[in-house]
């Protein structure tokens, strides 16, 4: 599939509250990437009030993972709106190995996986602080614990899997926002430009 082959594809993972969204919006400001958060796309679907949205809402409230067909379709549809951006930050995806394999088969291969490593203690503190104002149905201590469980059980194996293929770039996310971003900057700033694949002319 050549559809997105000239664009850099970065998977962004980390536990709930590790700061994925925060760092992604800073990368967008600095490098013009498009940020697609699987969680945001799912929340938009819930807000539309569709039948599918109803199902998604129940799963999210329980801290489990929605079926991969739904997430992959939402991501692909969103990507098609941004044919000209230098790259995509695909945030909160893939949360299980099978999701990643299916996406890379059906949509496009990833270049690398950015992993924001953070202790559970720090993540919990951030999320409980945010819960006062976020309005998110999953920002309560009970669901937060379940989200941690899902991350450990399903998503850490994804990071190990991509690590075995030498595709993980790990950043210590326990520090304050700008300290974390310093590492992000040096990583992205040091990447060679990804050239668009040339299409051979046939006469």
Give residues in contact with ligand AP5 (CB under 6 A): 14, 16-22, 37-39, 42, 59-60, 63-66, 71, 92-93, 95, 99, 126, 130, 138, 147, 176-177, 180
Rounded Cα distance, 137 and 26, in Å: 25
Structure tokens at 85: 């951006």
93 or 162: CB nearest ligand AP5: 93
**In the bound complex, what is the minimum distance in angstroms from residue 170's beta carbon to ligand AP5?**
15
Cβ atoms within 10 Å, residue 12 = 24
Measured at the alpha carbon of residue 9, what is the angle toward residues 186 and 17, in degrees to the nearest 5?
Answer: 65
59 or 97: CB nearest ligand AP5: 59
67 or 196: CB nearest ligand AP5: 67
Q: Which helix (H) or strand (E) holds 24?
A: helix 20-31
The residue with its CB nearest to ligand AP5 is 39
Is the separation of the CB atoms in 34 and 192 below 8 Å? no
21 or 86: CB nearest ligand AP5: 21
6 or 104: CB nearest ligand AP5: 104
**In the bound complex, what is the minimum distance in angstroms from residue 150's beta carbon to ligand AP5?**
6
Question: Exposure pattern of 33-58 as b/e (b: 16+ CB <10 Å)?
Answer: bbbbbbbebbbebbeeeeebbeebbe
**In the bound complex, what is the minimum distance in angstroms from residue 109's beta carbon to ligand AP5?**
17
**In the bound complex, what is the minimum distance in angstroms from residue 189's beta carbon to ligand AP5?**
19
**In the bound complex, what is the minimum distance in angstroms from residue 6's beta carbon to ligand AP5?**
24
Rounded Cα distance, 117 and 174, in Å: 7
């Amino acid at each position: 599939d050549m559809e997105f082959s000239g664009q850099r594809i970065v998977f962004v993972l980390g536990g709930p509250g590790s700061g994925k969204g925060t760092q992604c919006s800073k990368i967008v400001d600095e490098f013009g990437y498009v940020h697609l958060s699987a969680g945001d796309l799912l929340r938009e679907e819930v807000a539309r009030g569709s039948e599918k949205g109803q199902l998604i809402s129940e799963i999210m409230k329980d801290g489990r993972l929605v079926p991969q067909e739904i997430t992959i379709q939402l991501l692909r549809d969103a990507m098609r709106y941004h044919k000209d951006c230098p790259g995509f930050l695909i945030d909160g995806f893939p949360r299980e190995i099978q999701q990643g394999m299916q996406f890379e088969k059906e949509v496009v291969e990833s270049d690398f996986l950015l992993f924001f490593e953070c202790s559970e203690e720090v993540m919990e503190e951030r999320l409980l602080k945010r819960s006062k104002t976020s309005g998110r149905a999953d920002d309560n201590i009970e669901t937060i614990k379940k989200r941690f469980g899902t991350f450990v059980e399903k998503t850490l194996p994804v990071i190990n899997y991509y690590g075995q293929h030498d595709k993980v770039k790990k950043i210590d996310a326990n520090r304050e926002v700008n300290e974390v971003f310093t590492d992000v900057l040096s990583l992205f700033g040091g990447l060679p430009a990804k050239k668009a694949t040339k299409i051979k002319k046939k006469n």
